[in-house]
Chains A and B, each alone.
Chain A
Amino acid sequence: MTFLQFLITGLSLGSVYAIIALGYTMVYGIAKMLNFAHGDIIMVGAYIAYFAMGKYNLPSFVAVMASVLVCTLLGVVVERLAYKPLRKVSSLSVLITAIGVSYFLQNGAQLLWSSAPKMFTSIIPADTIKLFDGQLTVTYLSIFTIVVTLLIMVGLTLFVTRSKIGKAMRACAEDKDTARLMGINVDTTISITFAIGSGLAAVAAALYASAYQSISPTLGSMPGIKAFTAAVLGGIGSMPGAFLGGLLLGVIETLVKGYLTTQLSDAFVFGILIIILLVKPSGLLGKRYVEKV
C-alpha cells in the first residue's frame, strides 16, 4: 500500500515536471535553444498567483489565469528583448543570455518581494480521500494535478496537430527557411511558442506551489533543471517524450526517496537518465537523425 502511496505522489510530482518539460521542449524544438530562464518564469508565476490570491482575494481560478497572463507576456517580452536579436548567432550565445535573464529574474524577485519564503495557500482545498480502510490517502491536489496535466497534454497535441498556428510551429521546428518561403511568419510563430511555454510554466507554478505551499525567489531553479532533464530523457523536441519523461522522473525520484535513500536520490535520478541515454542516445521518444555525407 505504501507503494501505491508513493506512486501517486510521484505521478503528481511528475505531472508538474511534465508540464514544465512541455514548455521546455516546445521552445527547444522551434528556437533550438536551452532556455535556462524557464525555471524562473515558474517562480514569477507562483508569486503572481500568490499576490492575486492573498492581496486581492481573487478566487484561485482567476488568480491562476492572471498568473498565466503575466507569464505569457513576460515570456514574449523576454524573447523579443533578449533572445530575438541573437537568433542568427550561435546557440551558445543565446544560452548565456538566458542565464543572464535567469539571474535577472531571480535577483529582481528578491528585491521586489524579499528573500523570505511565503506560504502559498493551495489552489485546491487541502482535503484527502481515504481508500482501503484508510490505508491509502490521496490528496485532491494530486488527482487534480494529474487530471490537469492530462488535459493540457491532450489539448496541446490537438492544437499542434490540428490548428493552423500549431502546424506553423511544426513547420518552423522542421525548417525555418522553408517555412518562411511558405508564407509563415517565423518571428510571430516563435513568439507564440514562447507565450505558450511561459503560460504552461504559470500553470505548473500554481500546481507546484500548491503542493509544497512555500514560495521563494529561488523556487524555480530545481524544477527547471529537473524538467530539462525530463525533456531530454523523453527526447528533446518531442512532446509525448516530455510528458513521459516528466512522469518517469517524478515517479523514480519519489520511489528512491521513499524506499532507498533521501541523500542519494539525485544520484539515482541522474544515473537512470544516463543509462537510458546510453541505450537510446536520442531519448525515449526522440527522433534519431542519421547524418549523411
Chain B
Amino acid sequence: MAKVTELLKNRFFSGKKVNRTVSYLLVIFGYVLMIILMKAGMLTSHFTSLLVPLTSYIVIAIALNLTVGFSGELSLGHAGFMGVGAFSAVIISGLLLPYVPNTTLRLIIAMLGAALVSSLFGAIIGIPVLKLEGDYLAIVTLAFNQIIKTIINSIYLGYDNNGIQISFVKNKLNLGEGAVTILKGPIGANGIKRISTFTAGFILILITLLVVYNLIYSRKGRDIMACRDNRIAAESVGINVTNIKLEAFVISAALAGCAGALYGLNYSTLTPAKFDYNLSIMILVYVVLGGLGNIAGTIISTVILYILPEQLRFLQDYRMIIYAVVLIGIMLLTNNSWFKVQYYKISKRIRKKMREKKGAAA
C-alpha cells in the first residue's frame, strides 16, 4: 500500500505536473458533480443549457493557450478555426444524415472531419504566418480570421436526389426533388440536427488535456518552449523552429476545430458572423486571465467568465457594463502589487492558523 501511495505521489503530484493533476481532477469532478445534480433534478434549465457551449469554450481556450502560452504566438484568429470546424461538422453531419442514423457515431465522424479540415487550414495559414512575429503575427491571424469568415459567408451548399450542389458568392443552387439546403451563404445553416451532448464535451476536454499535456511534457514540448523563450538560441542547438512551431499551431487549430464541431452541432442554427475576431478576442481574454501556459487556470477562468455574464442577467440593461467593469477590475487587481502583497499576507496567516489548529488537535 505504501508503495502505491509513493508511486502515486511521484507519478502525479510531483513538481510541475501538479497542474496536470489539478486539471484532470477539476474536469472529472466538475463532470460528475453536474451529472449528479442533473440526475437529481437540482440543475436549472438555464445552467444545463450552458454546459455544452461551456465545454467547447474550454477546449478552444486550452487550444489557444497552447499557441499563446506555450508557443508564445499571439493569435487573434482562433475563432476562424472554430468556425471552419463548426461548418465542416455541420456539412458532414448534414450529408451523412440519411446514411448514419446513430447520432454518437455521426458526431464522432463529424468531429474527426472537422479536426482534419481545420488542421489543414492551420497548416495553410501557419506556414506563412509563423514567419512573422509579435503584433504582426497577431494582425495577420486576425486577417485570416476575417478571410475565413468571408469565405464561409460565400458558400452555398445543398443536395437533392441527384447529388450535391455547391456554389460560391451567388446562390446558384438549383435543387430538384428531395432538396435540402445545408449552407446558405451569410445566413449560414438552418435546421441543424442537434447531436452534441455534455458527455461528448467532457470526453473532448479529456482528449484535449491528454493531447496538450503529452505534447508539452515531451521532448517536443520542451523544444516548443525553447523556441518561445529564445528563438536564436533554440536554432543554434539544432531545433527546427519553423517545423516545431507549425506542429503546435496545427494541433491547436485541430483542437479548435473540434471545439467548433461540438459548438456547431449543439444549435439548430449557425451563422458565420458568430466566428469573427470578437469571438477570438473573447477566448483570448479567457486565456490571459487564466494565465499563459497555465491550463488549470484556463479552465477555471473560462468557467467563471462564461458563466458570469449569464448570472448577471438580473441586472438587465446594466449587465454588460458591469461585466466590463468586473473585467477591468480583475485585471487591475490581479496585477496590483499592493493587493498581491496583502493577498500573500492573508493566505500566509490563514495557513499559519490552520497549522496551529492541526497542531492543537494532534
Contacts and interface: CB of A to CB of B under 8 A. Distances in A.
Contact of B136 (A104, A263, A283): A283
Interface in B110-151: 128, 131-133, 135-136, 138-140, 142-144, 146-147, 149-151
B327 A99 contact: yes
Interface stretch (A63-71, A145-153, A157-165, A264-272): A264-272
Interface stretch (B37-45, B255-263, B315-323): B315-323
B146 A263 contact: no
A103 B331 CA distance: 14
B288 A96 contact: yes
A225 B276 CA distance: 12
Contact of B332 (A82, A95, A107): A82
A236 interface: yes
Contacts of A277: 132, 136, 139-140
A232 B140 CA distance: 9
B202 interface: no
A101 interface: yes
Q: In terms of DSSP, what is the predominant structure of the interface of chain B?
A: helix
B321 A107 contact: yes
Classify chain B: how many residues form its interface, as a range.
Answer: 35 or more
| Most chain B beta-carbon contacts within 10 A, residue among A34, A95, A291 | A95
Contacts of A107: 320-321, 324
A98 B277 CA distance: 15
B58 interface: no
Contact of B324 (A90, A92, A95, A103): A103
Given A86-B332, A274-B140, A274-B144, A264 B154 contact: yes
Contacts of B135: 28, 34, 232, 236
B285 A225 contact: no
Contacts of B28: none
B281 interface: yes
B302 to A, nearest CB: 14
Interface string A182-214: 000000000000000000000000000000000
Nearest to A87: B335
A186 B160 CA distance: 68
A36 interface: yes
B153 interface: yes
Interface centre among B68, B186, B288 (most CB of A within 10 A): B288
A28 to B, nearest CB: 8
Contacts of A89: 335
Interface in A238-269: 261, 263-264, 266-267
A103 B325 CA distance: 9
Contact of A281 (B136, B318, B323): B136
Contact of B292 (A92, A95, A229, A273): A92
B336 interface: yes
Nearest to A103: B324
A101 B326 CA distance: 11
B138 A85 contact: no
B146 A266 contact: yes
B327 A100 contact: yes
Interface string B168-179: 010000000000
Interface residues of A, number: 42
Given A89-B335, A92-B292, A93-B335, A263 B169 contact: yes
B292 A267 contact: no
A282 B74 CA distance: 16
Contacts of A232: 135-136, 139
Contacts of B1: none
A236 B136 CA distance: 9
Interface of A is mostly: helix
Contact of B328 (A104, A225, A267, A281): A104
A237 to B, nearest CB: 10
Contacts of A104: 321, 324-325, 328
B34 interface: no
Contacts of A100: 324-325, 327-328, 331
Given A96-B327, A278-B131, A85 B150 contact: no
B26 interface: no
B139 A99 contact: no
28 contacts: A82-B328, A86-B331, A86-B332, A86-B335, A95-B288, A97-B328, A97-B332, A99-B285, A103-B324, A104-B324, A108-B321, A111-B321, A229-B139, A261-B169, A263-B154, A267-B147, A267-B150, A270-B146, A273-B139, A273-B140, A274-B143, A278-B131, A281-B132, A281-B133, A281-B136, A291-B231, A293-B233, A293-B236
Interface of A: 28, 34, 36, 82, 85-86, 89-90, 92-93, 95-97, 99-101, 103-104, 107-108, 111, 225, 228-229, 232, 236, 261, 263-264, 266-267, 270-271, 273-274, 277-278, 281-283, 291, 293
Interface of B: 68, 74, 128, 131-133, 135-136, 138-140, 142-144, 146-147, 149-151, 153-154, 169, 186, 231-233, 236, 277, 281, 284-285, 288-289, 292, 317-318, 320-321, 323-325, 327-328, 331-332, 335-336
Given A283-B136, A291-B232, A293-B236, 4 more contacts: A85-B335, A85-B336, A273-B139, A278-B132
